C-alpha cells in the first residue's frame, strides 16, 4: 500500500552491542550477550523489521493478550515438532508467537530473534529487509491470528480485546426518523492535519454534527423527499484496549509529493471517552482509559525508523534512572583521564580495550551510558567495589576511585516511580532497552520523531498481585522447560566463551636455540622450529606460568629468567624481565601473542647481552650515487642494508662506510621521498649515537664522496637540504637517418638547463660537436609523435618534463623562449592535408604568421585566414584580429592552426549564407507524398543530411543562393536588397523588398520570422553563424508585431492527405484563443465555425494535436487567469506552424494523420529501437570492462505487505 514510504534509514537503526568488543577467540558461535540492567529483552532488527519489533513489544506488554495466547495449549495449536508431518494440523503463527514471548520474558539474552516468526509469515529475506507501515501490519497481523485460531477456544481473542463499534446516524429534521449504520473497528484512525490533539480530533469525529441544508439536502426514506437533516457518529461499544492510528503521512496534490505532518499533536496519558459515546449513563470507570504504549516514527516520509515507549504494567523490568547531575560527558571523562594519567585513553588503553565509547557500551553492568546525550555515569552497586588494576596498576573498571575523576556520586541513583500503578516507562528500540520518565512522552508530540500509534487500556483492568514482577506467570509448562534448558545451555556457552577469551597465546623462545650476532639474536634453526607456543589463562599468576614452562621442558639447569622479547627487522631483541610471581598475567600487562625469552639472565652462547630500549638494533638503508648505467632502469642510487646498534657513534659509522671521507645525509622518511627531506649531519654531531640523531628502522643515509658534494648546499656549516631531485632523462638520436637510432640515459635534476642535457647527449652518443648549433631536443609522446622543441634556456622544470621522459635529438635550431613552435595544416581535412611545422616570434601578428605559413606551403593570394583547432580536432574559432599578436590571442607553443580559404568579413560585418525558399506545386507535392517523409528537399549537400531520428516536413523547396557580407547596422530591408543581387535570386521577379519574407534557419528547419524591414540586424541578435532564408511573395507584406503567420491546409475529403497549404495572417492583439482561431480559419475558408475541426501539426513527432476541444481540458481557475493562450503549452503556436483543417460538411472523419505520418512514425520507431539496442550493448560492455562498481541507493518498488496463513476451518 505505502511501498517504500517507510523504507528503513540505516542511520536510525540502533546498534546491538551484543558480542562487540575485542575479537573473540571462542571457536563456536558467540553466545548472545545477557540482559542489561533493565532485565528486559529487546528484539533484533533483521534489516528493516523495526516496525514489527515495536508492535510485538506492545503486544507482549499487553498482559491480557499475552496470557490469552499462552492459554492455548498443544492440544489446540499442535506442536512445532509436527510441522513436517503431512496430516498434522499445526497452527504455526500462534506457536511461534508463544515461543517468542516466552523468550522475551525468560531467556537471558539481550535481544531475541524474530527469524522463526517471520518465516512462519512466509516472508523471505527481501521482505525482512523491506520496511512497511506499522498501522498496516497491525491489521494484517490481527487478521492472520484470527484465521489461525479458527476452531480453537481463542477464536475470539482479537474481537474480545480490540473490537469496538461506531454507529453513524442521520436524523430527519421533519419526521425525526433516524437512519443508522454500524461499523466495526479494531483501531481508530484520526486526523493530525488541522487539529491540535487527540481530544479535538475525537470531538470533530464523534461530537460535531454535519448538517444537510440549502442545496445539499438528504432524501429521507420515511418522508420520501429531500429534507434537512443532521449526521453524526458515536462510539457504541468500547473495547478493553483502544488502538489509535495517527494520520501523520499525507499527500500534497499541488506539489505532487508525500510529506509528513510534524506539527504539535498532543494526547493525554488518561482520557475520558464519555463525551464521544452513545451511552453516557454508565459509571466513569467504564469510559476511563490509560496510555500504555506509544509507537514512534523517526524520520521523513521516504525513510525512517520505529521504536516504542511502553509502560511496564506488570513491573517486570528494573527501572533505574541516573540523575543528570550524576553523569558527565564522555569527552570530559577522557579529559579527566588525560589530566590524571598524563596520557590519553587512545595511547594507553585503546590497543587492549578499544575506543572509550565502545568500552563504556560493552560494560553496561558497570556504566550508565547514554549515547544520545553522550553522557556516562557509574552504576550504584559499583561505587565501592575493590579496585581491579591493569598492567600499570591503574583501575579501569572504576576509574573515578583511582584517578580521582569527579563523578558526583555522593548520592545513590534514584529510582523514580510514576504516580499511577505500574507507571514505569521504557524505550524499546530494537535490541536496546532504556528506562525513561513519563515526561519524555511529551517530546513525541511533534517533530520528525513523533508519535504514530497510541495504545490505551481501560483503567478498570486490574492485574492480579501474583503477576507483579513475575515473568513466569501463566506461561505453559512446556515453554518453561524449554526456556530453562535454553538458559542452562547459554550459561554453559558463556562459561566456555569466557575461558577461551581469557586465554592468551605466548610464544616462548628458548635460549638454547639462539645465537647472537650483528647486534641481535637469531635462531640457529628456522623461526618456526625455535618457538614453542603456550596457551594460559590471563588470570593465572607469573609463578603459574613459570611452573608450566618447567613442566613443559625436559630439563633446565640454574635460574630461569623470563624476559619480554620483540622480533625486530634486525632480529630478536630483549627488553625487561618479568618479576613478581604473585601477580596475575593480566596485572603485569602480558598481552595475547607476547614473545617470552627463556634464559639464565646473563649470556646466550657465551655472549653477554645488552637488553633494553637503549640498545635496540636498527636496519639502515645506505645509499651511494650510482655511476652511469649502474643499477636498474631509472635507478640513480645503489642501495645496501646495514644492521647498526642504536648506541653506535656516527663517527664510527662514517669511518666504516666512507673510509676516504665524505659527508652523511639522513632521510627519516625513507627512500624515494622529496629532496627536501634529506638533511646533512654536521661534523659536530659525529660524536652522537645513531639513536640520538633519530635514525630508526627504515631510515636512509646517503654517503657522498668529495666529488659528489656539489649536489649539496652547505651554508655556514649548518644543515641544508638536497638542492634538487636526481634522476634521469632518456635521449633518442634522430640526427642520423642512415644509422640505427640510439638511446642514452642522462643524469639530470629539475633545475638542469636543457642546453646542458643536449651537450651531454651529444657526447654520450659520440656525435659531431657541430650538431650543438644545429640540433634541438623534442619530447616524444606516448604514440611516438615528436612534439614541439624545448627552448634551450629552459630548465627541466620550466619545460614541464617529467623525470624519465623520452626526448628526441633532432636537427634544426630550437626556438628561444620568445618564439613559438606551431603546427599548421591547409584546409580542414587532416587526412588529405599534411601537418607542417613553423617557428615564429610570439610578437608576430596573425597576418604575418599567415603569410609565413602560406609561403612555406607554396600558396599565394589574400583570400585566406587562420582558425584554431577545437577540442574535436576541427576548424574552430577564427583569428579575426589580424593585427593582434599571437601572444595577445593566447596562442601557445605546440598549438595547431588551420589555414582556411576565404576572407573574414570586416569588423562589424556579418557573413550570412542565403537560401531561396519557394512552395512546391500541388502535382509535385502529391507525387512525392510517400517519398518525402522528411518533407524538405535540400539541393545543397550541407542540408541533405539531418540528425539521426529527426524528420522535417514542409511543402517548400529550399536551394542555396550564396552568401553576402553586410554590416550589422544595416536594416532588414538592406539585407533583402543585397540578397536580390545574388545570381540565383536575379532570375526571380521581385518588385520591392516588401515582396520578400525573411526567416532564420535553425536545425535545418525554418525558425524565426524577421519582421519590420527598417529594423537593424544587430537588434535581432542573429549571431555570427546565422543563416537566412528568403521567401518570395505574390503581394506586398508588412507584418505587425501582433500578427501571426500560419500555414493552413484543407484536408482532401475521403483521403488521408491535404491540399497545398496557404498563408493565413491572424491578428492576435486582442486574444489568442481557440475560439478566435476557429473563427479566423472558418472565415478564411468561408465555412461555418461549427462545421470545421482544426489541429496543429508537430512534424518532429508526426503527430496532430486537435485544437477544438482544448478549452474543456483546463480548469475554470486557469481560464480566469487568462492562461488559455495558444502560444503557451501545450500548443506553443508560432509563425510558420501548420494548421490542418477538416470540413465536416464533406468529411466527418476527425483523423488528421496522413500516410506520410505513418511511415515517419515507423521509421522513428525503428531508429529508437536501434538506439535502445546499441545503448544496451554499450551498457553491457561497460559493465564487463568496469573494475569498480558504484553503489547507488534506489528506492525499492512498492510491494504490499502480506502474511501467509494455512486453512484451519
Segment 134-156, tens digit of pLDDT: 888 899 999 999 999 998 999 99
For 340, what's the count of Cα atoms within 13 Å in the CB-facing half-sphere? 17
* From 76-80, 765-769, 904-908, 979-983, the region with the lowest mean pLDDT: 904-908
Q: Cβ(408)–Cβ(332) under 8 Å?
A: no
Reply yes or no on whether the pLDDT at 1049 is more than 90: yes
pLDDT for position 1207: 61
Alpha helices, H only, 396-476: 399-403
- CA–CA separation, 1149 and 268 (whole Å): 68
pLDDT (average), residues 198-224: 90
Torsion of CA 700, 706, 708, 712, to 10 degrees: 70
**CA-to-CA separations, 1036 to 971, 981, 990, in angstroms, rounded:** 18, 19, 10
- Read off the pLDDT of residues 472-512 as tens digits, 9 standing for 90 and up: 999 999 999 999 999 999 999 888 888 888 888 899 998 88
C-alpha cell at 897: 592552426
C-alpha cell at 859: 600558396
296 band by pLDDT with thresholds 50, 70 and 90: very high
412 band by pLDDT with thresholds 50, 70 and 90: very low
- CA–CA separation, 373 and 114 (whole Å): 30
- Neighbour-count burial for 382-402, b at 16+ CB within 10 Å, e otherwise: beeeeeeebeeebbbbbbbbb
Burial class (CB in 10 A: 0-12, 13-18, 19+), 433: buried
Q: Which residue has the higher pLDDT, 130 or 1196?
A: 130
Residue with cell 495572417: 1065
pLDDT (average), residues 533-557: 85
- 10 Å Cβ neighbour count for 932? 18
C-alpha cell at 784: 611516438
Torsion of CA 1015, 1017, 1022, 1026, to 10 degrees: 120
**Element at 838 (helix H, strand E):** strand 836-841
Give, in degrees to the nearest 5, the angle at Cα 955 between 950 and 958.
Answer: 75
Active-site entry in 18, 50, 776, 849: 50
- Read off the pLDDT of residues 674-733 as tens digits, 9 standing for 90 and up: 555 677 777 788 888 888 888 888 788 877 665 455 455 544 333 333 434 556 788 888
- Concerning whether 305 is annotated as a catalytic residue, the answer is yes
Task: Give the mean pLDDT of the chain.
Answer: 79
Q: Cβ(1086)–Cβ(1129) under 8 Å?
A: no
Burial class (CB in 10 A: 0-12, 13-18, 19+), 1082: middle
pLDDT for position 945: 31
- Read off the pLDDT of residues 1099-1122 as tens digits, 9 standing for 90 and up: 888 999 998 654 444 444 444 444
pLDDT for position 1122: 47
**Element at 911 (helix H, strand E):** strand 909-919
Share of residues in the chain with pLDDT > 90 (%): 27
pLDDT for position 393: 36
pLDDT for position 143: 92
- φ and ψ of 934, to 5 deg: -75, -25
201 band by pLDDT with thresholds 50, 70 and 90: very high
359 band by pLDDT with thresholds 50, 70 and 90: confident
Q: Cβ(781)–Cβ(787) under 8 Å?
A: yes
Sheet holding 936-938, edge to edge: 936-938, 956-967, 909-919, 1028-1032, 996-1002, 1005-1010
Q: Cβ(662)–Cβ(704) under 8 Å?
A: yes
- 10 Å Cβ neighbour count for 454? 23
- 10 Å Cβ neighbour count for 549? 20
Residue with cell 492583439: 1069
- Concerning whether 865 is annotated as a catalytic residue, the answer is no
Burial class (CB in 10 A: 0-12, 13-18, 19+), 893: middle
- CA–CA separation, 344 and 336 (whole Å): 9
Reply yes or no on whether the pLDDT at 44 is more than 90: yes
pLDDT for position 592: 87
Active-site entry in 297, 305, 307, 865: 305
Amino acid at each position: 500500500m505505502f511501498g517504500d514510504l517507510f523504507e528503513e534509514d540505516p542511520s536510525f537503526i540502533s546498534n546491538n552491542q551484543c558480542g562487540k568488543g575485542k575479537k573473540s577467540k571462542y571457536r563456536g558461535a558467540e553466545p548472545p550477550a545477557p540482559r542489561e540492567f533493565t532485565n528486559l529483552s529487546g528484539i533484533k532488527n533483521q534489516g528493516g523489521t523495526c516496525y514489527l519489533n515495536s508492535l510485538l513489544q506492545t503486544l507482549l506488554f499487553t498482559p491480557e493478550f499475552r496470557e490469552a495466547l499462552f492459554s492455548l495449549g498443544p492440544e489446540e495449536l499442535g506442536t512445532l515438532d509436527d510441522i513436517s508431518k503431512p496430516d498434522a494440523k499445526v497452527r504455526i503463527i500462534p506457536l511461534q508467537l508463544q515461543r517468542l514471548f516466552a523468550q522475551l520474558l525468560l531467556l537471558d539474552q539481550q535481544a531475541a530473534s524474530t527469524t522463526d516468526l517471520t518465516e512462519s509469515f512466509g516472508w523471505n529475506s527481501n521482505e525482512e529487509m523491506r520496511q512497511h507501515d506499522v498501522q498496516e501490519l497491525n491489521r494484517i497481523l490481527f487478521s492472520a491470528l484470527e484465521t489461525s485460531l479458527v476452531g480453537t477456544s481463542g477464536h475470539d481473542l482479537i474481537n474480545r480485546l480490540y473490537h469496538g463499534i461506531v454507529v453513524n446516524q442521520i436524523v430527519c429534521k421533519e419526521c425525526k426518523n433516524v437512519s443508522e449504520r454500524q461499523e466495526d473497528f479494531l483501531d481508530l484512525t484520526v486526523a493530525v492535519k488541522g487539529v491540535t490533539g487527540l481530544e479535538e480530533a475525537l470531538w470533530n469525529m464523534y461530537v460535531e454534527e454535519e448538517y444537510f441544508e440549502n442545496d445539499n439536502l438528504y432524501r429521507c426514506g420515511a418522508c420520501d423527499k429531500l429534507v434537512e437533516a443532521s449526521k453524526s457518529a458515536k462510539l457504541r461499544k468500547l473495547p478493553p484496549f483502544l488502538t489509535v492510528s495517527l494520520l501523520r503521512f499525507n499527500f500534497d496534490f499541488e506539489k505532487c509529493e508525500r510529506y509528513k505532518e510534524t506539527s504539535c499533536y498532543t494526547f493525554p496519558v488518561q482520557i475520558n471517552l464519555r463525551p464521544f459515546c452513545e451511552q453516557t449513563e454508565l459509571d466513569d470507570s467504564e469510559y476511563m482509559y490509560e496510555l500504555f504504549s506509544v509507537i514512534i516514527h523517526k524520520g521523513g516520509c521516504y525513510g525512517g525508523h520505529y521504536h516504542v515507549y511502553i509502560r511496564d504494567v506488570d513491573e517486570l523490568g528494573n527501572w533505574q534512572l541516573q540523575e543528570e547531575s550524576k553523569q558527565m560527558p564522555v569527552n570530559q571523562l577522557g579529559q579527566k583521564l588525560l589530566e590524571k594519567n598524563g596520557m590519553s585513553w587512545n595511547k594507553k588503553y585503546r590497543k587492549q580495550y578499544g575506543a572509550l565509547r565502545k568500552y563504556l557500551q560493552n560494560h553496561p553492568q558497570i556504566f550508565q551510558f547514554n549515547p544520545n546525550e553522550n553522557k556516562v555515569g557509574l552504576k550504584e552497586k559499583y561505587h565501592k567495589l575493590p579496585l581491579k588494576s591493569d598492567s600499570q596498576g591503574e583501575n579501569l573498571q572504576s576509574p573515578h576511585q583511582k584517578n580521582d575523576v569527579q563523578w558526583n556520586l555522593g548520592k545513590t541513583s534514584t529510582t523514580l516511580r510514576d504516580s499511577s500503578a505500574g507507571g514505569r516507562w521504557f524505550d524499546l528500540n530494537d535490541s536496546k532497552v532504556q528506562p525513561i520518565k513519563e515526561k519524555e512522552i511529551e517530546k513525541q508530540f511533534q517533530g520528525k520523531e513523533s508519535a504514530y500509534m497510541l495504545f490505551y487500556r481501560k483503567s478498570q483492568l486490574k492485574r492480579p498481585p501474583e503477576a507483579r514482577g513475575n515473568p513466569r506467570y501463566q506461561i505453559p509448562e512446556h515453554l518453561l522447560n524449554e526456556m530453562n534448558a535454553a538458559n542452562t545451555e547459554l550459561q554453559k556457552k558463556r562459561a566456555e566463551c569466557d575461558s577461551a577469551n581469557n586465554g592468551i597465546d605466548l610464544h616462548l623462545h628458548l635460549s638454547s636455540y639462539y645465537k647472537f650476532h650483528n647486534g641481535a639474536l637469531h635462531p640457529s634453526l628456522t623461526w618456526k622450529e625455535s618457538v614453542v607456543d603456550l596457551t594460559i589463562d590471563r588470570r593465572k599468576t607469573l609463578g603459574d606460568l613459570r611452573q608450566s614452562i618447567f613442566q613443559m621442558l625436559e630439563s633446565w639447569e640454574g635460574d630461569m629468567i623470563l624476559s619480554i622479547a620483540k622480533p625486530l627487522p634486525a632480529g630478536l631483541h630483549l627488553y625487561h624481565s618479568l618479576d613478581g610471581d604473585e601477580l596475575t598475567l593480566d596485572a603485569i600487562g602480558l598481552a595475547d601473542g607476547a614473545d617470552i625469552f627463556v634464559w639464565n639472565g646473563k649470556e646466550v652462547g657465551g655472549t653477554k647481552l645488552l637488553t633494553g630500549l637503549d640498545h635496540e638494533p636498527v636496519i639502515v638503508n645506505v645509499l651511494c650515487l650510482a655511476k652511469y648505467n649502474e643499477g636498474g632502469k631509472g635507478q640513480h642510487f645503489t642501495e645496501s642494508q646495514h644492521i647498526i646498534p642504536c648506541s653506535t657513534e656516527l663517527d664510527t659509522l662514517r669511518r666504516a662506510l666512507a673510509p676516504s671521507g665524505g659527508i652523511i645525509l639522513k632521510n627519516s622518511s625513507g627512500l624515494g621521498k622529496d629532496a627536501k627531506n634529506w638533511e646533512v649531519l654536521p661534523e659536530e654531531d659525529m660524536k652522537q649515537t645513531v639513536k640520538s640523531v633519530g635514525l630508526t628502522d627504515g631510515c636512509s643515509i646517503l654517503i657522498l664522496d668529495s666529488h659528489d658534494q656539489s649536489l649539496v648546499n652547505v651554508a655556514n656549516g649548518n644543515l641544508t637540504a638536497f638542492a634538487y631531485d636526481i634522476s634521469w632523462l632518456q635521449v633518442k638520436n634522430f640526427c642520423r637517418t642512415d644509422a640505427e637510432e640510439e638511446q642514452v640515459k642522462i643524469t639530470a635534476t629539475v633545475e638542469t638547463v636543457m642546453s646542458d642535457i643536449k651537450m651531454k647527449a651529444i657526447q654520450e652518443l659520440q656525435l659531431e660537436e657541430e650538431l650543438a648549433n644545429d640540433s634541438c631536443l623534442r619530447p616524444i609522446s606516448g604514440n611516438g609523435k615528436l612534439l614541439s622543441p624545448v627552448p634551450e634556456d629552459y630548465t627541466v622544470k620550466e619545460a614541464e618534463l617529467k623525470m624519465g621522459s623520452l626526448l628526441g635529438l633532432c636537427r634544426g635550431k630550437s626556438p628561444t623562449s620568445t618564439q613559438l613552435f606551431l603546427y599548421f595544416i591547409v584546409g580542414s581535412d587532416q587526412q588529405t592535408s599534411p601537418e607542417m611545422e613553423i617557428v615564429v616570434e610570439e610578437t608576430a601578428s596573425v597576418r604575418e604568421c599567415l603569410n609565413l605559413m602560406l609561403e612555406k606551403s607554396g600558396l599565394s593570394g589574400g583570400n585566406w585566414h587562420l582558425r584554431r583547432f577545437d577540442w574535436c580536432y576541427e576548424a574552430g574559432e577564427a583569428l579575426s584580429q589580424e593585427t593582434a599578436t599571437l601572444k595577445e590571442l593566447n596562442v601557445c607553443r605546440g598549438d595547431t592552426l588551420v589555414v582556411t580559404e576565404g576572407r573574414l568579413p570586416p569588423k562589424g560585418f556579418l557573413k550570412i549564407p542565403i537560401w531561396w525558399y519557394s512552395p512546391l506545386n500541388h502535382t509535385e507535392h502529391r507525387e512525392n507524398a510517400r517519398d518525402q517523409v522528411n518533407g524538405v528537399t535540400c539541393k545543397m549537400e550541407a542540408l541533405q543530411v539531418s540528425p539521426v531520428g529527426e524528420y522535417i516536413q514542409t511543402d517548400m523547396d529550399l536551394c542555396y543562393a550564396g552568401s553576402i557580407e553586410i554590416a550589422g547596422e544595416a536594416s532588414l530591408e538592406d539585407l533583402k536588397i543585397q540578397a536580390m543581387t545574388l545570381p540565383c535570386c536575379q532570375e526571380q521577379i521581385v518588385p520591392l523588398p516588401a515582396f520578400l519574407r525573411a526567416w532564420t534557419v535553425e536545425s535545418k528547419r525554418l525558425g524565426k520570422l524577421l519582421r519590420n524591414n527598417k529594423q537593424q540586424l544587430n537588434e535581432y541578435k542573429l549571431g555570427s553563424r546565422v543563416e537566412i532564408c528568403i521567401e518570395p511573395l505574390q503581394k506586398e507584406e508588412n507584418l505587425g508585431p501582433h500578427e501571426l503567420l500560419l500555414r493552413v491546409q484543407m484536408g482532401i475529403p475521403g483521403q488521408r492527405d491535404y491540399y497545398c497549404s496557404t498563408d493565413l495572417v491572424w491578428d492576435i492583439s486582442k486574444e489568442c484563443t481557440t475560439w478566435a482561431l476557429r473563427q479566423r480559419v472558418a472565415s478564411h475558408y468561408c465555412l461555418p465555425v461549427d462545421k470545421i475541426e482544426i489541429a496543429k501539426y508537430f512534424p518532429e513527432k508526426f503527430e496532430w494535436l486537435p485544437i477544438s476541444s482544448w478549452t474543456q481540458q483546463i480548469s475554470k481557475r486557469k481560464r480566469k487567469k487568462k492562461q488559455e493562450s495558444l502560444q503557451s503549452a501545450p500548443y506553443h503556436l508560432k509563425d510558420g506552424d501548420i494548421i490542418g483543417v477538416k470540413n465536416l460538411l464533406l468529411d466527418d472523419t476527425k483523423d488528421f494523420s496522413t500516410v506520410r505520418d505513418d511511415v515517419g512514425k515507423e521509421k522513428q520507431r525503428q531508429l529508437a529501437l536501434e538506439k535502445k539496442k546499441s545503448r544496451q550493448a554499450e551498457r553491457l560492455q561497460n559493465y564487463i570492462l568496469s573494475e569498480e562498481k558504484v553503489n547507488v541507493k534506489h528506492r525499492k518498488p512498492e510491494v504490499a505487505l502480506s502474511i501467509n496463513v494455512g486453512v484451519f476451518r
